A and B are shown apart, each in its own frame.
Chain A
Amino acid sequence: MAELERTLLRRLRDRDERAFRELIDQHRDRVYNITYRMLGNRAEAEDVAQEVFIAVFKTIDTFREESKFSTWLYRVTVNHCKNRIKYLARRHERDRDPLDETSHETNGAVAAPRGHVAPDRALEGAQLEGLLQDAIAQLEDDQRIVVVLRDVEDLSIEEICEITGLPDGTVKSRLHRARLVLRKRLQRHV
């Protein structure tokens, strides 16, 4: 673990508010991206991402530095996402925000594409983005977790095993199945 990270952790354990803001600045986009891809709804994603950071700050004393801090943070993120998915399923509110499909460039929450993009290509991109998000949303929760961590966030299989607490074979198996399902769904449209 880098010395800078150790220092930040020490300050977090001392309940230093500025250290907490530094932590948020370093990790907020990645945590938010995971929660958004897992939940498919911006408001829910922001709420869960907030809860993740609050939980991290409250329980920072339980982080034993046996893994990378980011691994621990993503584990907390995944657990919060799972809990929220269960909660939403209970409330029958798993409908994705319909604006999310096409509003990536208008609401400022998602980075605009780099450089000039022709309108028809932009529409294609937005449609593909929507198709993909739909396809991800329809995956089983366990498959969605591994595919988001591996193919969207580009984490290694080893790191995903640490985050999810699953054996290597199970992660790979879920990944294969998820890709199989996604391939079939995308094949119909692309």
Chain B
Amino acid sequence: MTDDAPPSPPPLRLAEPGGDAARPQDEELPEDVIARVSDLLDGALPAAERAEVERLIASDATWRRAHAELTETRNFLSGLQKAHAPVSFADGVTETIHQRSAGRLFAKRTLGDRVPLGALLVIALAALVVIGYVLWSSPTGSLKVDRPRSPQGSQGSAAVLP
């Protein structure tokens, strides 16, 4: 059976006749027995098949041994103490994020998210009013201002001319 191939259910069968004494504890258990008992423990067997496996466990020493050993293995595993993350774990993670992203990841928001939209509108409106006033009060109608001509400059020019 390849590892990635779904196991095809083998026909259920009794192990060879004989009591527990005939089977030393280090004797290999058939892989199909392990597979069926494993499925039973996972609740992965259809009702009819489950009843059959339970009957075999009750009547056959090999099946009974497989059931006892797998149950024990599973109990050991599920009884492993739960490892808990260190108390400072959350601080460590958020600190790492802050360091790596220079604070941008948590603050990855648009300007509109950070500054209220109303405030932005008021500022924009105020800017428009100021610009409008400057333009309105300008004699030229623009921000460009005409500089007055120097009278001396004009006389000097006339003197040079013939």
Q: Is B31 at the interface (CB under 8 A from chain A)? A: yes
A24-B89, A173-B5, A176-B34 known; A29-B82 Cβ under 8 A: yes
For chain B, residues 62 to 85, give those with C-beta under 8 angstroms from any C-beta of chain A: 69-70, 72-74, 76-78, 80-85
Interface segment, one of B47-55, B104-112, B126-134:
B104-112
Asked if B109 and A15 make an inter-chain contact with CB atoms under 8 angstroms apart, the answer reads yes
On whether the beta carbons of B6 and A168 are closer than 8 Å, the reply is yes
Within 8 A of B (CB), among A9-66: 14-17, 20-21, 24-25, 28-29, 31-33, 36-37, 42, 45-46, 49-50, 53-54, 57-58
* Category for how many chain A residues contact B: 35 or more
| 9-residue interface stretch from A67-75, A86-94, A148-156 | A148-156
Asked, given contacts A28-B85, A50-B89, A177-B3, whether A172 binds B78 with beta carbons under 8 Å apart, the answer is no
Q: How far in angstroms is the closest Cβ of chain B from A101?
A: 12
Q: Quick one: given A173-B7, A176-B38, A183-B70, are A152 and B109 in contact (CB under 8 Å)?
A: no
A59-B90 Cα distance, complex, nearest whole Å: 18
With A15-B106, A169-B5: A151-B84 Cβ-Cβ less than 8 Å: no
Residues of B near A183 (CB, < 8 A) are: 34, 69-70, 73
Partner of B78, one of A154, A179, A190: A154
B138 located at the interface, meaning its Cβ lies under 8 Å from any Cβ of chain A in the complex: no
Q: Is B96 interfacial (CB-CB < 8 Å)?
A: yes
Give the number of chain B interface residues (Cβ < 8 Å): 44
Determine the residue in chain B with the shortest Cβ distance to A36: B83
- Which residues on A sit within 8 Å (CB–CB) of B74? 151, 179
Residues of B within 8 A of A54 (CB): 93, 96-97, 100
Q: Give the CA-CA distance A49 to B82 in the complex, in Å.
A: 15
Most chain A beta-carbon neighbours within 10 Å: one of B7, B26, B85, B108: B85
Please pick, from A15, A21, A31, the residue contacting B108 in the complex, using a CB distance under 8 A.
A15
- B-chain residues with CB within 8 Å of residue A2 when the two chains form the complex: none
In the assembled complex, B20 has its CB within 8 A of some CB on chain A: no
Within 8 A of A (CB), among B28-44: 29, 31, 34-35, 38-39, 42, 44
> Which residues of chain B have C-beta atoms less than 8 A from A175's C-beta?
38, 42
Q: A176-B31, A176-B38 are in contact. Are A170 and B4 (CB under 8 A)?
A: yes
Q: Would A187 and B26 count as touching, CB distance under 8 A?
A: yes
Report yes or no: A46 in contact with B86, Cβ–Cβ below 8 A: yes
Is the CB–CB distance between A50 and B96 below 8 Å?
yes
Q: Is B161 part of the binding interface, using a Cβ–Cβ cutoff of 8 Å?
A: no
